[in-house]
Structure 1
Amino acid sequence: MYFGLTPDDVRKFAYELAIAYEVDLPQSWTENQKAGKDWFCSFLKRHPNISIRAAEATSLARAMNFNRNNVSNRHKFAPNDIWNLDETGATTVQKPSKVVAKKGEKQVGAIVSAERGVLVTVCQAINAVGNATTPMFIFPRVKYQGYFIRDGPPGSIGRANGSGWMQEDDFLAFIKHFANFSKPSKEKPLLLLLDNAGPHLSIETLDFAKENGIVILSFPPHTSHKLQPLDRSVYGPFKTYLRSAQDSWMKTHPGERMTIYDIPGVVKEALSKANTPINITNGFRKCGIFPFNRDIFEDFDFAPADTTDQPEAEDEPIAEDESIADNEPVAENEPVAENEPLTENEPVAENDDFEIPPPVVNASQLSTPNEILEDEPSTSAACRRLPFSPETIRPFPVAPPRKNKGHGRKTLKSAILTDTPEKEAIMKRKSASESKGKSKSKSKTPNNTQKEKPSKGTDWYCEICGVFSGGL
């Protein structure tokens, strides 16, 4: 659920459980308010399937939005017609690979090109049978020159803009490159899966795709880490091979700095190892795209979203004056209260009055888990011991209901972007955003508070003291 316990938390948790269940404790546990280190080491030995792992930072938006409601076509596509597109980055400063060093050394260094790297965006598409298009490189330069990709993969293309990130014009250029590679048509359309990033929602791109038989389907927001084949099985190995290729480049070019024009060469070496048919097809299989499997994700995959799921509205209570006749049959589908004990051969009182069952007491309200309510009759059912469950001591985290911030932002969803209604909605949002930006720019008044400087040769007085200061 992405709320893992640190070793210190586990030791404190063990102490809390021991107190709650009246277990004999060592004195050191009571003094430190947590279990000892020797107990934790023995705990790991008793459970070999548990280990201490470095947690990967996962944004709250990804944990919240990957749920069953978002992940659950009217077109039918063959596997060679199903494509996935995504971008990644390659920087001129690599993360050094692990090296062999002497034990006890406090610092082991590795040469990198510079302190801060320059990013080059790499974009490609893959399909469900294991094929991949040649990539496109986007360089952080104002003008693009052909020699930028001279060492890149054969058939690759390049673009340039000031930021080096994907822009709408760059994405349109890649879609045209993709169409030349895959040869789609209206008679034999292709399905292109991608995230709904801003540059992917260009009206010119959607028009071109619709005219050339490319059906663009977007993923739900913040779910690409689970639903995008490129992220699942290609770009991970690609980054590993890229670091290794950059390390080799630094060793073969001592004293030189890696530039953005050297990136296509190392990317060529890394992509040839990462874009294997087995990696590509495994990505589509893990995402349940092909072979199609709507139940590919299990309950534990959606567990992180359980902390933010909103409870369903409770049924309205029955009015006090409404009652059920004693002889009235009960409907078969009527639910039975979970808190009402059902015992066999329970004697019925002579009168027809029903006693109100005692309130359900939470385990946290009891001084000890084995405590029995004083008002509860001494029966065998009442003397049952509380079953062991760590959740009674530390329940799972539950987020409070979301507050409406009133920003009026439209929540995006998975949609076929080339459909006319979706395209018109995108046009409407873009026009509203542009008109809002123009109105803000018009409302800004020029700053006239700055006084004009006196021209050369004029006499002027000091505004503070009033003394004549002469001419300039």
Structure 2
Amino acid sequence: MDKNGRLMIGAPPDSIATPQESGWMNGEVFFQWLQHFKQHVQPTETNPVLLILDGHASHKELAVIKYARNHHIHMLSTPPHTTHKLQPMDRTFFKPFKSAFATASSAWMRRNPAARITDYDIAALVDEAFSRAAWLDIAQNGFKCTGIYPFNPEIFTDIDFLPSMMTDVMQEVSSKENMANQFSVAHSSPVPSTSHALPANEPESSTSSTDILKQLSPFPDASKKRSLKRARKTQRSEIITSSPYKKDVEEKQKSRDRKPKKQKSKGTKKMLKTTKNIQSLSKENGEEEIECIICGETFEEDWIQCQECKNWAHEDCVYIDSSDVYFNCDVCKAKKRLGQY
């Protein structure tokens, strides 16, 4: 932790710094951000504020909901997997900001030959890049192209949903006998040739070649496989500060408080298919729930512990290279590259 504030030298005006050991967002850090947000927008009962967020778990903490309700902040979560369309920062701001930051970094290295950019230089570079990218028209275009303001409910088209067709196809597990029957039907049915036309007196097949291919090699049902493997609840758009949602969060909190306290499992070693030793957690709900450092969720699943920072992540949320002996999260990998480990 930067106790003397050197990491904030040259930062944009009114910036705040909140250290977090794992480097990931959690409820406590977001609560501090919300207080900072309230201080600047100054919402009142006659002039409330609408805050649109994604469905991260840190946005749904009970303390966050109570604070937002008490200070006239209405929080609305977006539907899952829509930030590429509904996030104004993603649509219009981040690209020019990254370009401006790269330009500022290049200029810094030219002014400081044979030196490298350290953690204490980042804030000033961010200030320079932010001043170049934070234009009013960029902010306005961000809300316009996402359909937030002016409100455009037709922002999504049918083309946007085409990739989901792969996971919408239902696949049934059939027996060997059924597969044999399908194979015989496929060969007995006349299939139109791609190079020769059918004779005029020959009837056209009722089963198209496309249907036969689907029978022999059906589309993978990824959604079904995922639902069987995960115990994760389906997310949806919610008014987080509404009374029904707040009541539901309070009931869940009371249910967790009533559970007997158990000592948190410290994890065991297990062998994966890659024959690499990786720390894995057989999860037990204890005094403190474990949040995945990638998705921020606490649902039950196989867990992996980062060898360096000792934080946990769902196995399905991380990518493990075949050459890795132990799992290291992205934050720890970045620190290793910077020589902080």
Q: TM-score range by the shorter chain?
A: 0.5 to 0.7
Distance 1:307 1:148, change over 3 A: same
Distance 1:397 1:300, change over 3 A: farther
Shift of 1:146: 3.3
Structure 1: unaligned runs, 5 residues or longer? 1-140, 312-359, 445-472
Match of 1:162 among 5, 14, 21: 21
Q: How does 1:218-367 map to 2 (within 5 A)?
A: 218-310=77-169, 366=191
Q: Which amino acid aligns with 2:60?
A: L
Distance 1:271 1:431, change over 3 A: farther
Name 1:192's counterpart in structure 2: 51
Shift of 1:161: 2.3
| Structure-2 separation of matches of 1:443 and 1:293 | 50
Deviations 1:382-408 (A, max 9, x none): 589xx9x9x799889843261442654
Shift of 1:234: 0.8
Name 2:10's counterpart in structure 1: 151
TM-score (norm 1): 0.46
> Contact between 1:308 and 1:399, CA under 8 Å: does it hold in 2?
yes
Q: Does 1:182 align with 2:47?
A: no
Q: Does 1:402 align with 2:224?
A: yes
Shift of 1:162: 1.5
Q: Which amino acid aligns with 2:101?
A: L
> Contact between 1:186 and 1:211, CA under 8 Å: does it hold in 2?
no
Deviations 1:345-402 (A, max 9, x none): xxxxxxxxxxxxxxx989x9626134538xxx828xx589xx9x9x799889843261
| Structure-2 separation of matches of 1:414 and 1:186 | 24
Aligned residues: 247
| Structure-2 separation of matches of 1:226 and 1:189 | 25
| Structure-1 separation of matches of 2:129 and 2:190 | 59
> Contact between 2:186 and 2:212, CA under 8 Å: does it hold in 1?
no
Q: Which amino acid aligns with 1:410?
A: K
More helix by share: 2
> Contact between 2:169 and 2:219, CA under 8 Å: does it hold in 1?
no
3-state DSSP class of the match of 2:17?
Answer: strand
Q: Does 1:422 align with 2:245?
A: yes
3-state DSSP class of the match of 2:262?
Answer: helix
Match of 2:61 among 163, 185, 202: 202
| Structure-1 separation of matches of 2:48 and 2:147 | 21
| Structure-2 separation of matches of 1:442 and 1:260 | 35
3-state DSSP class of the match of 1:191?
Answer: strand
Distance 1:249 1:186, change over 3 A: same
3-state DSSP class of the match of 2:74?
Answer: strand
Shift of 1:192: 0.4
Q: How does 1:71-86 map to 2 (within 5 A)?
A: none
> Contact between 1:144 and 1:159, CA under 8 Å: does it hold in 2?
no
Deviations 1:115-170 (A, max 9, x none): xxxxxxxxxxxxxxxxxxxxxxxxxx2x5443431201111111212223323222
| Structure-2 separation of matches of 1:148 and 1:180 | 23
> Contact between 1:246 and 1:266, CA under 8 Å: does it hold in 2?
yes
Q: How does 1:435-450 map to 2 (within 5 A)?
A: 438-439=261-262, 441=264
> Contact between 2:192 and 2:198, CA under 8 Å: does it hold in 1?
no
Please list every run of at least 4 consecutive aligned residues from structure 1 whose deviation after the TM superposition is greater than 6 angstroms: 391-397, 434-437
Deviations 1:301-341 (A, max 9, x none): 11111222256xxxxxxxxxxxxxxxxxxxxxxxxxxxxxx
Q: Which amino acid aligns with 1:220?
A: P
Name 2:75's counterpart in structure 1: 216
Q: Which amino acid aligns with 1:174?
A: W
Q: Which amino acid aligns with 1:269?
A: E
Shift of 1:233: 0.8
3-state DSSP class of the match of 1:154?
Answer: coil
| Structure-1 separation of matches of 2:101 and 2:218 | 39
Deviations 1:182-207 (A, max 9, x none): 11012211100011212222221211
Q: Which has the greater radius of gyration?
A: 1
